Amino acid sequence: MRRRFIGVVALLALVALVASACAKKTTSTTVPPGTTGTTGPTGATTGPTGTTGTPVPQFTTLESGKLIVGSCLDYKPFEFTSQQSGELTGFDVEMIDAIAQRLGVEVKWVKANFNTIFTALAANKFDAVAAASTITPERQQVVDFSDPYFNARQSLTVNTTKTPDIATTDDLKSGDVIGVQRGTTGAKWAQENLVPNGIVLRTYVNAPDAFTDLEIGRIVGVINDEGSSLAEAANRQGLKVVQAIDTGEHYGFAVSKDNPQLLAAMNDALAAVIADGTYSKIFQKWFPGQPVPPEFSGS
């Protein structure tokens, strides 16, 4: 799909001269409700909800005025549908909303299979991916990533009512079945560190399905990102995250390699979200009691 430049031409005289030539290439963008600033030729947004005051790099999206974002949409607490409100919510959702507000665009979410989400992004099925995605060299060959926005660890979750003696992966024995989500760094870690010891992996398209099988005793444990595992275990009978596995991972928002301008604009907006304290508020909402990492705490 053809991308169109986001922004409006500020000089009316220039518009009068070139309107007939540019009418199909440039589309006006309305700043979302609650924003009192304006969007100019460089995509800059100013005012109370704007950036730090420096112009945002000019960027393009698949649909004028919209940021189409691919995600699994079922990965608590990062992106999921609230049972109470029926609305999409989560840490990633609020972060993307904050970034989009600073860019002057509306967010459109698209549900995607995580195992193929990066190749879909590279094929321009959406503008960006926000899916608690770890930045890895393999994925960077396919797409580009924003600056890191979250420090992540892997974890082991077990059903304490069925296997109370398992406290770490060292307690797993040959033949035990562990659940992982397809295409994730958790699955890769388990393949490299558990399979050589005789552990059997069962893969799932969606992470919640692995926790459902763990809850009913079909598998012995789940290797998955710690933040998501804590959220799943909190709402399931007998499940407990018994081990955090520090793998030095960081999440980033992914963007097509064909769109470096959007990546630059999102990085600028992300820096503003961190600097003005918005990041800290979102983090404390979704991870209460946990300290905001210093690099994300703002000024």
Under-70 pLDDT residues of the chain: 1-54, 299
Fill in the amino acid letter for 179. Answer: G
Same domain, 27 and 125: yes
CB 60 within 8 A of CB 2: no
Residue 3 lies in a domain: no
What is the DSSP annotation of 130-144?
Answer: -SSPBP-HHHHTTSE
How confident is the prediction for the chain on average, in pLDDT?
85
Per-residue pLDDT, 59: 96
Element (H, E) at 122: helix 117-122
pTM for this entry = 0.77
pLDDT, tens digit (0-9, with 9 covering 90-100), for 190-229: 999 999 999 999 999 999 999 999 999 999 999 999 999 9
The whole domain housing 231 covers 152-249
Per-residue pLDDT, 156: 98
Residue 4 lies in a domain: no
pLDDT, tens digit (0-9, with 9 covering 90-100), for 253-271: 999 999 999 999 999 999 9
Same domain, 217 and 97: no
Q: Is the peptide bond before 77 cis (omega within 30 degrees of 0)?
A: yes
Distance CA 288, CA 239 (A): 20
Per-residue pLDDT, 299: 64
Residue length of the chain: 299
Distance CA 88, CA 92 (A): 10
Per-residue pLDDT, 249: 95
Number of domain units in the chain: 2
Per-residue pLDDT, 4: 40
Same domain, 210 and 172: yes
Task: Indicate which CATH number applies to the domain containing 192.
Answer: 3.40.190.10
Residue 217 lies in a domain: yes
Same domain, 212 and 269: no
Same domain, 123 and 159: no
Residue 227 lies in a domain: yes
SS3 263: helix
Residue 264 lies in a domain: yes
Same domain, 181 and 239: yes
Residue 238 lies in a domain: yes
Q: Nearest Cα to 278, choosing from 71, 51, 56?
A: 51
Local structure of residue 156 (DSSP, 8 states): E
Residue 42 lies in a domain: no
Same domain, 285 and 159: no
